[in-house]
Chains A and B, each alone.
Chain A
Amino acid sequence: AQSVAQPEDQVNVAEGNPLTVKCTYSVSGNPYLFWYVQYPNRGLQFLLKYITGDNLVKGSYGFEAEFNKSQTSFHLKKPSALVSDSALYFCAVRDWDNNNDMRFGAGTRLTVKP
């Protein structure tokens, strides 16, 4: 079965600095990759996804992610962090061979300090 790893429980950055939230995945076939964000006491909100095509995917709120097949990674990035970006971020993967089962990472808590 597919799996996702988010190696950092917590990422701290200063406002205005670039941010990266890491994600690596394991699938038997081709992956469909997603990033979701969760604010306190709320459900998850979609940020962006990679299905096929350009390896650099742009999403909501200025976020982007780069699909790297050789490194099996899909890191989330933003050039200039905002305090309001502070939240819990989840990476998720679906596998062509098991298409109704989406696996989520454990989440990374991003804190942006003023």
Chain B
Amino acid sequence: NAGVTQTPKFRILKIGQSMTLQCTQDMNHNYMYWYRQDPGMGLKLIYYSVGAGITDKGEVPNGYNVSRSTTEDFPLRLELAAPSQTSVYFCASSYSSGQGLGDTQYFGPGTRLTVL
């Protein structure tokens, strides 16, 4: 199993550009998540999905969009990049048979994004 994979590893964007961060998991997990990690701030949840076709907002969703057309993939879209979106982005997945409360999340290696 590759686990959770993310592409690209690094990206530099200009203000106003758009891009999609890719995330794929091969563990057949139903839950998937996107976080951003800012220095000294821990991780903040952007969006999550409890299954294909279902997505919901997390703590900091503004400026981002997601889709979940398959169990494996959960891409994160930035439509109009802003300097405030400079961060490290992590995708994670977990398996839940219930409400997902005690699930262990498995993280990808991250994407470092800089917006200039």
Interface residues on chain B, size class? 20 to 34
Taking the closest CB of chain A, its distance from the CB of B32, in whole angstroms, is 11
A104 touches B43 (CB 8 A): yes
Which of B45, B92, B102, B104 has the most chain A CB atoms closer than 10 A to its own CB?
B102
Q: How would you classify the secondary structure of chain A's contact residues: helix, strand, loop or mixed? A: strand
Residues of chain A with a CB closer than 8 A to B110's CB? 41-43
Q: How many residues of A contact B (CB 8 A)?
A: 26
Q: Which of B42, B48, B90 contacts A100 (CB 8 A)?
A: B48
B102 touches A32 (CB 8 A): yes
Judged by a CB distance under 8 angstroms, whether B40 is at the interface is yes
- Docked pose: A81 CA to B105 CA in angstroms: 25
A binding-site residues for B, Cβ under 8 Å: 4, 9, 32, 34, 36, 41-46, 49, 51, 90, 92, 94, 96, 99-107
